[in-house]
Amino acid sequence: MDRSFCIAPMMRRTDRHFRYLCSLLSKESTLFSEMIHANAINRNHPERFLNNSGISNDTVLQIGGSCPEELKKATLIANEYDYSEINLNLGCPSSKVQSGNFGAVLMKDVNLVKKCLSEIIKVSAKEVSVKIRLGVDDSDINEGLDYFIEELSKIGVNTFYVHARIALLKGLDPKENRTIPPLNYERVFQVKEDFDHLNIIINGGIEDFKMAKDKFFKLDGMMVGRAAYDLPFKLFDVDQIFFNSTKTNNSLLSVIDEMFEYIDTLNFKDEIKTKFHMLNLFKGLKYAKKSRLLLLSNDKNDKIKRELKDILLESEIKAA
């Protein structure tokens, strides 16, 4: 699996509808589900959470939880779905996640993490990875982080997605935890140097994809979150920059056609979600506001599609 460019798991963002959009913009990117708690998979109809149909990209299922048996059960169910990897979330700092004793707070308990991962690895049909922070609160990001990675590698974890910040669990909300703790890319470089046999993928603050490719060439890949969601058209360049591939048809017109073909297969609730994910496709265009209003309107899909394409064509004519 080529992890050169990954689109990060984002709650209420990287559902299957946004992943489908990403798959039209980049054929080669590795996609992530949003974090799904093991209990949600085990106690509901799993299709609701695990459906990944129509997406050809490698897709990683990210799960959350701290009960080894529940995580094992969820993994067994996930084996029946089309995912390329199972990833345990050890990086989410939200207070709700903390109260459930999963996410970043688990980095304080390496033995529990090992029990959880051991149960997942026992039954997973695919590779098992983790997403981590450099540390939590006042933990030692030098020896403490090395010890944490070493212990997980001993039980068979070979791939680490590393958000290049610590997580401050008290006093900061998730958004602040993505911006206030300073980025420390050098520490991630050192992790790769110390654990060269492991796959180390860097995450955090990446906006310029071309520059990032040059900056992080010693690592095994990079992961981009908000920069991909807020400006999804930037994904058009990913296959060429990172994979030397031109398979993607980089035309917004064709993307609109394919997205509305997809939308026509959905129920009303999922239609609304999918159109919401499309809002940022038009960011930066002269008629971006009009495009957004169309997608948020109650007009029929055929009318919305036609007018969106007219806007794009008019923009192209004026640009010429």
> What six digits make up the tokens of 225?
């979150």
Question: Which residues, at least 6 apart from 234, have a Cβ–Cβ distance to it below 8 Å?
Answer: 209, 227, 228
Per the structure block, which two tokens stand in for 138? 């006042």
Per annotation, catalytic residue among 6, 22, 92, 116: 92
Q: Is 67 marked active-site?
A: no
Contacts of 135 (CB under 8 A, 6+ apart): 107, 141, 144, 145, 166, 167
Q: What angle do CA 313, 318, 319 make, to 5 degrees?
A: 95
Please report the beta strands in the chain, taking only residues with DSSP state E, as ranges in sequence order: 5-7, 30-32, 36-37, 59-64, 85-90, 127-136, 159-167, 199-203, 221-224
- Written as one letter, the residue type at 26 is S
Alpha helices in 124-215 (DSSP H): 143-154, 174-177, 185-194, 209-215
Are 90 and 132 in contact, with CB atoms under 8 Å apart?
Answer: yes
Cβ neighbours of 212 (radius 10 Å): 19
Catalytic residues: 92
